[in-house]
Amino acid sequence: MPLYEYLCEDCAGIFEVVRPIREVPEPQPCPECDEECERVMPSSFSAFIMRQGYPRRIPDKGTYWHLGQEVTYLPKKARPYEHPQVTKQREQEPLATQDYTDLVDRKIHERRLAREDRRKERDLKRDRMAKRAPERKPLPQPMKRD
């Protein structure tokens, strides 16, 4: 069976899945955070904003993806889209590394918060449903003392 790449935007990482071709369009849970992830074409990795311009590989073995290939180290900061382990070169100029890191960290953080909010909301809704029958009186509020 062939190997396909999936992108987890929350973890800013790519992972591989071996699966039959008919299952390829179905989302795949991320091995790290369990979010559903969509397949990405190796050539489109650079279309996503990743830490230092590179998607992390999940599970994180300390390696990176560079234009669809696994590499063990990041290229020199001055030429982030070139890598000696990959012969292909890109002309696109990425943001400065620090900008990238800040942007990605903020983006990941925001996504995590949003996901936590969705979960809390879902749990609240579930609790409310569970408590609906039988009818409940509101709890007496404790008196304020000074």
Rule CB under 5 A: which residues touch Zn ion?
Answer: 8, 10-11, 30, 32-33
Residue closer to Zn ion (CB basis): 11 or 50: 11
Location of structure tokens 């008196």: 143
- In the complex, least distance from residue 35 CB atom to Zn ion, rounded to whole angstroms: 5
Nearest to 26, CA basis, from 47, 6, 41, 56: 6
Report the residue number, 117 or 127, with the smaller CB distance to Zn ion: 117
Which of 12, 67 has the CB closer to Zn ion? 12
Pick between residue 51 and residue 83 the one whose CB is nearest to Zn ion: 51
Q: Using CA atoms in the order 71, 74, 75, 78, what is the torsion angle rounded to 10 degrees?
A: 160
Task: Tell me how far, at minimum, the Cβ of 9 lies from Zn ion, in Å.
Answer: 8
In the block, which residue shows the tokens 């069976």? 1
Shortest spacing between CB 109 and Zn ion, in angstroms: 14
| 59 CA to centre of own chain | 12
Q: How far apart are CA 9 and CA 96, in angstroms?
A: 20
User: How many other CB atoms are there within 10 angstroms of residue 23's CB atom?
Assistant: 11
Task: Please check whether residue 62 is in contact with residue 31, taking contact to mean a CB–CB distance below 8 angstroms.
Answer: no
| Min CB(17)–Zn ion separation in Å | 13
